[in-house]
Structure 1
Amino acid sequence: MSTPVPRFRRRPRVPAASTAEPRQPVDQAKVGRRAVRRRAVGMNATEAAAALEDARLQQHMDRDREDLAGNERGPAEVAEWERIALLLATTGGVYDPETDAVVQDELAADRRAAQAEQQRLQEQQQLTARADELAALA
């Protein structure tokens, strides 16, 4: 039996650095909070408390890993589990991000930030267009 000939895949084309837009830095804490919220959907207080203990254990096991020394995601996940466990312990029922005031406030803030960024880009485009018009008249 012979081994198959390896196939080479074409690499995806990467745009030139000068044409690419600058990327926003990733907020690892926000990523961690959103991951916790996705996993917590439908959990009751007991399940959330167990998940909190698992998150604390994971953070304890990761404490000596140098590659995770400056990572904000782990502590943010533990803090979010603590908040959700406390919320469910006081209110009862199951977790639903649609009814969580903190989540809704964060989503509203994200929408406002996106609208402000969109407005800033539109103003920048208008200034560039106006500068082009003035340059053409000169």
Structure 2
Amino acid sequence: MTTPLPPWPPRRTDRRTAAPYAAVPREPADPARSGRRWVRRRARGMTAEAAAAALDVARFDARQNSRFEDSALDERGPAELGEWERIARLLADACPGTVYDPDTDDVVRAELAADADADAAAAAREAELREAMRIAARADELQALRELGALEQAEPREGDEAVREELTRRAGGYVQADVDTWLARALATHRGHYQDPAAREEAAAGRLTPPVLAHAALLTELLRLAPGADVEELVFAARLAAAEPKATGDLAAALTRARPDR
């Protein structure tokens, strides 16, 4: 007895599955706001008589809808009716022949201003969150380099002053001497972000602490006096700046004034 051959081509029994859909979170819709905006679009160009007629229709619809059980959950219907009533009163109190224009409606303009303020506040919060995440990620990166003993190989970036504060916060407020030394040396030798004169001015304007600035200023003058010196040979500058930042700054200023070219 022969075994029958399978059909050719073989039938496909597997089903192609769709790729998983990742829903993007959105701000919840506001039915009441949507209803008011719809009324304003419909009412544009209406006179007082036309708005009154539209209000009668809206009231009739509201009475009809009130018979349904789910009417209590309806937010848009009452909002539309209330907006028709407001616009009808607005036109009734206006000069004869006035037509409705949402662009000149004080209520609409106030809502738009409030929306703009809310959007600006939300954008500011989002920017703060992104900046906090960036600082945290950069702090993790620098911490990993510290543990590998390779911090000096890193190039300073814009915003590393805030990262220094984050590392200090993580350490319970204790001064991070190696990070301060790294930043001071970079500032003195114009490495990384500090190649830009504007960045150096911002650092001097208060983004870095006085000990770090004094350390950088003294290193700058010492390296000028000994161009071939290695910063590793000038570790005493960090200890001096940490102990007496003002005296260190005064010493750096005195060395600057003593330059032959000044």
Task: After TM superposition, give the deviation of residue 64 of structure 1 in Å.
Answer: 2.0
C-alpha distance 125-37 of structure 1, shift in aligned 2 (>3 A): same
Larger relative contact order (Cα-Cα within 8 Å, sequence gap ≥ 6) = 1
Report the AA paired with residue 75 of structure 2.
Answer: E
Matching residue of 1:77? 80
Q: 3-state SS of the aligned residue for 1:64? A: coil
The CA deviation at 1:15 is 4.2
CA apart distance, 1:103 = 0.4
- The corresponding residue for 1:48 is 51
| 1:44-123 mapped onto 2 (5 Å cutoff) | 44-92=47-95, 93-123=98-128
Q: Residue 136 of structure 2: which of 124, 131, 134 is its match?
A: 131
Q: Residue 43 of structure 1: SS of its match in structure 2?
A: coil
Deviation at 1:65, TM superposition (A): 2.0
Over the matched positions of the two proteins, sequence identity in percent amounts to: 50
Distance in 2 (CA, whole Å) between partners of 1:103 and 1:42 is 15
- C-alpha change, 1:78 and 1:14, in structure 2 (3 Å) is farther
After superposition, the C-alpha distances for 1:50-93 in whole angstroms (9 at most, x for unaligned) are: 10010010011011223443111110111100000000000130
Write the letter of the residue equivalent to 1:57: F
Q: 1:14 to 1:87 in 2, by over 3 A?
A: farther
Q: CA deviation at 1:14?
A: 7.2
Change (3 A) 1:63 1:88: same
Q: Give deviations 1:21-70, integer Å, cap 9, x for gaps.
A: x2111111100000000000000000000100100100110112234431
TM-score by length of 1: 0.84
CA distance in structure 2 between the partners assigned to 1:81 and 1:68 by the alignment: 19
Shift in CA distance, 115/55, structure 1 to aligned 2, threshold 3 Å: same
Alignment correspondent of 1:16: 22
Task: Spell out structure 1 runs of 4+ moving beyond 3 A.
Answer: none
Q: Tell me the secondary structure at the aligned position of residue 94 of structure 1.
A: coil
Partner AA of 1:52 in structure 2: L
Task: Summarize the Cα distance change of 1:16–1:107 in structure 2 as closer, same or farther, 3 Å threshold.
Answer: same
Map of 1:34 onto structure 2: 37
Q: TM-score, normalised by structure 2?
A: 0.45
Number of aligned positions between the proteins: 124
- In structure 1, stretches of 5+ residues that fail to align are 1-12
Q: Which amino acid aligns with 1:36?
A: V
Q: Against the structure 1 CA distance between its residues 32 and 14, is the aligned structure 2 distance closer, same or farther, given a 3 Å change threshold? A: farther
Amino acid corresponding to residue 81 of structure 1 in structure 2: W
Q: What are the ranges of 5 or more consecutive residues in structure 2 without an aligned counterpart?
A: 1-18, 144-262
- The residue type equivalent to 2:89 in the other structure is L
